[in-house]
Amino acid sequence: MHIHILGICGTFMGGVAALAREAGHKVTGCDAGVYPPMSDQLRALGIELIEGYDAGQVQLQPDMFVVGNVVSRARLADGSPKFPLMEAILDQGLPYTSGPQWLAEHVLQGRHVLAVAGTHGKTTTTSMLAWILESAGLTPGFLVGGVPLNFGVSARLGDVAPGQQRPLFVIEADEYDTAFFDKRSKFVHYRPRTAVLNNLEFDHADIFPDLAAIERQFQHLLRTVPASGRVVSNGLEEALARVLHQGCWSQVRSFGSAVSDFTAQGPHHAFAVLHAGQVVGQVQWGLSGEHNQLNALAAIAAAEHVGVPPATACAALADFQNVRRRMELRGTVAGIALYDDFAHHPTAIRTTLDGLRQQIGQQKRILAVFEPRSNTMKLGTMKAQLPWALKEADLAFCHTAGLDWDAAQALEPLGAAGLTADNIPTLVQQVMAAVQPNDTIVCMSNGGFGGVHTQLLAALAEKFSAQ
């Protein structure tokens, strides 16, 4: 089969492309501003990439056009379509489908799907679970919205392990909508036998009016899990309790709360895992923060459902290397460590900074450099939560380009510790004016952030080489 993917450079669609290529299909694709790292990965796989969405691409005559959710029926200021290729597909009655639906029909069919859903921690927990299964010799397939450092790729098909009835596939299960013609959450297509509900709070204000609307989508996910399946749910989350109360027809295993099936005792970097109150393993690793401890419990409980003993899972996590862009150390200059993190929601920012504070202590300063880039943050829906989110930062620097709301006003509760800049060079200058030896800088964005990490490292080297 020849598939042509619209929006191929996104992490999800790029993963679909890699899986299709590995399965032997011919894959081509297009995107606006074809960009690395996904463009590099795809070209390395021999996948032809086309810049833009011109209608002439229908001449490729693929068997199926696979449409990413970046595509819409939007019009430009002059009235012309933003995505001419999509208009040509519709006009000519050519076959098209969404990425999640193609994946469900051509990859997930016949596999034991382990899906990891939640507002936060999906990528990390999916990567943990895939690594646990890999360490146990189960050779899982996976699709992750990032690059797990243990694997070096975001997706692979996997294989059937000895003794397994069907191949395992671990997937990051996003609640965002599927495509402009399918407004259901992506995860409804995956039909998991093991479903992880990691946490749940309001997000995606561009498509969901309130938390109840997202809870309804999570309930739809539960309706697809068979009675022989397992739902692994965070026992600390009231929103998930409401979702389960609406109906659950599968085995439920909880984690996190004092009365949960899976709990933890000890500091976040070295803790005991308890199952039904009995110690079943020890985790000692380089990750920090309560959020990662909870992610670990979720992955351990999910792995147990496919036969991996908790002790084996705990041992595997000692070698877990995290995910690219999850507190990834990009460089150190004059004792100043610079990290890159994907945090793009107030709770994620708060969680990242809390974990960093626990790791480095109270004596070192934290400089938080962030941009409100997600659709929810751009709308300003959660701007009032930013001072709370940045509580552990000694200084906060906000990149304000593209915002329709006043970030300086939102950061007023931080006083002189909250600074704003509408361009990257000014942001770098502000950080350079404030930074001191042995500070810790953490850059937070769900995008490329204009290459600010590289610019900051270069500026640090220049400033401190002269001293």
Is 352 annotated in a binding site? The answer is no
Helix (H, G, I), strand (E, B) or coil at 398: strand
Strand order in the sheet with 96-98: 48-51, 26-31, 2-6, 64-67, 96-98
User: What is the distance between the alpha carbons of residues 399 and 449, in angstroms, rounded to a whole number?
Assistant: 9
Q: From edge to edge, which strands make up the β-sheet containing 141-143?
A: 155-156, 141-143, 168-172, 112-117, 194-197, 230-234, 251-255, 262-265, 270-275, 278-284
- CA–CA separation, 230 and 233 (whole Å): 10
Determine the number of helices (DSSP H) and then strands (DSSP E) in the chain. Answer: 15, 23
For residue 167, the surrounding DSSP H or E stretch is none
Q: Give the residue from 466, 458, 460, 456 showing the smallest Cα distance to 438.
A: 460
> Which tokens sit at 115?
């899906």
Cβ(433)–Cβ(365) below 8 Å: no
Q: Is 11 annotated as a binding residue?
A: no
Q: What residues have CB less than 8 Å from 76, skipping those under 6 apart?
A: 82
Is residue 74 a contact partner of residue 152, using CB atoms and an 8 Å limit?
Answer: no
* Closest CA relative to residue 145, chosen from 109, 116, 169, 166: 116
Residue 289, marked binder: no
Would you say 116 and 125 are in contact if contact means Cβ atoms under 8 Å apart?
yes
> Do the bridges between strand 48-51 and strand 64-67 make them parallel or antiparallel, or are there none, so unpaired?
unpaired
CB 255 within 8 A of CB 297: yes
Determine if residue 97 is labeled as part of a ligand binding site.
no
In three-state secondary structure terms, 338 is strand
DSSP 260: S
Q: Is 120 annotated as belonging to a binding site?
A: yes
Structure tokens at 434: 């404030």
Ligand-binding annotation for 123, yes or no, is yes
- Residue corresponding to tokens 């993917």: 5
For residue 384, which phi and psi values (nearest 5 degrees)?
A: -65, -20
Helix H or strand E segment including 218: helix 211-222
Residue 415 marked in a binding site: no
- CA angle at 315 for the pair 312 and 318, rounded to the nearest 5°: 155
What residue numbers does the annotated binding site cover? 118-124
**Residues annotated in the binding site for ATP, as ranges?**
118-124
